[in-house]
């Protein structure tokens, strides 16, 4: 009798036990996000910079400018971007009519959830900061000032073909950023003389009802041991985006490049994206604490050539942007 009771109790206990596998529980375990961020190839990025510089100075109304535009369009198309070339005629500080082209490479153009990655593709018609007065009327090669940002963005386009992004991305190459009044001539101050392409685009976007969540501008992003500080207008208009980008750069191990010092405001393409287009935008731009202008010593001189380009700087900036794009929801 005692034994029977014992067996009965054991059986009750046995069948009241929970099964060891519970389908319900496993169903609610969140799968780890599997985001693959493609790896920027520094040699490829460097080559995209060199290809542009090999055309010579890309000054509006010149043959080299025209040839380089064709090259940029061809490259973007080959990387599956839907390309729009926005042509315009704008007036320079000295009242010249400049034939300009903003070149837009769209990825997922129907997606409303989109961002802008941008850089200027023209180069400056003067070497006004050269030590040598006789050189100051010459146009610059703009390896860093112009071609570096475009080179990184072409490399990103190449990776977009292999690994299409889920969000919408517009890669925009603005023209005539660097046609501002020269400093070696005593000219009266002229407002809004710089950034003619981005001013035009901000008033005449390439699509009806165009909007983007934010924009990231690259300017002088290829010099050896460059430092990118938190620039004034970026901090005024989109401090959260500065945090996001500087945070990503730091996380990826590029803290030598992404410096948290806040520095002065620079009139650059992002200024017009913020004030005219109303798109929150930041500038990743080199800050040099050792020069008076706080631009590099090569800035607007004959020394802005390929010797001023470092693959590792291109890698740090480009890989940080790739992290942002592939983690964007
Ligand atoms: C001014 O000097 C007003 N803006 C500089 C923007 C610039 C020129 N970036 C590259 N070249
Ligand atoms: Zn410049």
Given ligand 1 and candidates 295, 300, 301, which is best to mutate, with the most ligand atoms within 8 Å of its CB? 295
pLDDT single digits (tens) 99-146? 999 999 999 999 999 999 999 999 999 999 999 999 999 999 999 999
What distance in angstroms lies between residue 299's CA and the mean position of ligand 2's atoms?
7
Nearest atom in ligand 1 to the alpha carbon of residue 124 is 11
What distance in angstroms lies between residue 194's CA and the mean position of ligand 1's atoms?
7
Which residues are placed with Cβ below 5 angstroms of ligand 2, an ion? 124, 145, 178
Task: Classify residue 178 by burial, with Cβ atoms within 10 Å: 0-12, 13-18, 19+.
Answer: buried
For strand 168-174 and strand 114-120, is the pairing parallel, antiparallel, or unpaired? parallel
Q: What are the CA-CA distances from residue 263 to residues 4, 128, 205, 295 (Å)? A: 85, 24, 30, 12
Counting ligands in written order, which one lies closest to the CA of residue 270? Answer: 1
Cβ < 6 A, ligand 1 pocket? 145, 178, 180, 194, 219, 266-268
pLDDT score of 74: 99
Nearest atom in ligand 1 to the alpha carbon of residue 146 is 10
- List the one residue out of 42, 105, 6, 9 whose CA is nearest residue 309: 42
Q: Please state which CATH number belongs to domain 39-180+190-327.
A: 3.40.630.10
pLDDT single digits (tens) 50-78? 999 999 999 999 999 999 999 999 999 99
pLDDT confidence band for 14 (50 / 70 / 90): very low
What distance in angstroms lies between residue 30's CA and the mean position of ligand 2's atoms?
49
Please list the residues that pair with 66 across neighbouring strands.
Answer: none
User: For residues 261 and 231, is the Cβ–Cβ distance under 8 A?
Assistant: no
Q: How many Cα atoms sit within 13 Å of 297 on the Cβ side?
A: 5
- List the one residue out of 222, 42, 50 whose CA is nearest residue 148: 222
What are the sequence ranges of the domains in the chain?
A: 39-180+190-327
pLDDT single digits (tens) 212-234? 999 999 999 999 999 999 999 99
Handedness of CA 217, 219, 222, 228 (dihedral sign): negative
Model confidence, pTM? 0.91
């Amino acid at each position: 009798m005692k034994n029977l009771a014992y067996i009965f109790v054991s059986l009750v206990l046995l069948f009241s036990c929970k099964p060891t596998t519970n389908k319900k529980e496993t169903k609610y375990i969140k799968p780890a996000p599997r985001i693959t961020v493609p790896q920027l190839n520094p040699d490829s990025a460097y080559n995209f910079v060199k290809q542009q510089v090999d055309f010579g100075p890309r000054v509006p109304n010149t043959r080299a400018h025209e040839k380089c535009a064709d090259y940029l369009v061809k490259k973007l198309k080959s990387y599956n971007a839907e390309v729009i070339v926005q042509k315009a005629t704008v007036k320079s500080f000295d009242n010249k009519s400049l034939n300009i082209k903003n070149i837009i490479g769209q990825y997922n153009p129907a997606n409303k959830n989109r961002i802008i990655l941008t850089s200027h593709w023209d180069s400056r018609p003067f070497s006004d900061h050269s030590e040598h007065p006789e050189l100051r009327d010459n146009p610059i090669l703009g390896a860093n000032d112009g071609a570096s940002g475009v080179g990184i963005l072409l490399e990103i386009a190449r990776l977009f073909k292999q690994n299409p992004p889920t969000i919408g991305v517009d890669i925009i190459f603005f023209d005539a950023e660097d046609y501002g009044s020269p400093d070696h001539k005593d000219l009266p101050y002229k407002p809004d003389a710089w950034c003619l392409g981005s001013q035009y685009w901000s008033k005449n976007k390439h699509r009806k009802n165009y909007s983007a969540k934010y924009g990231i501008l690259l300017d002088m992003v290829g010099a050896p041991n460059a430092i990118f500080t938190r620039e004034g207008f970026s901090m005024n208009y989109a401090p959260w985006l500065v945090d996001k980008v500087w945070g990503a750069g730091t996380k990826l191990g590029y803290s030598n490049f992404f410096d948290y010092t806040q520095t002065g405001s620079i009139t650059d393409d992002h200024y017009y994206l913020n004030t005219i287009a109303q798109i929150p935008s930041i500038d990743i731009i080199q800050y040099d604490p050792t020069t008076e202008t706080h631009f590099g010593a090569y800035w607007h001189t004959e020394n802005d050539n390929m010797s001023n380009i470092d693959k590792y700087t291109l890698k740090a900036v480009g890989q940080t942007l790739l992290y942002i794009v592939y983690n964007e929801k």
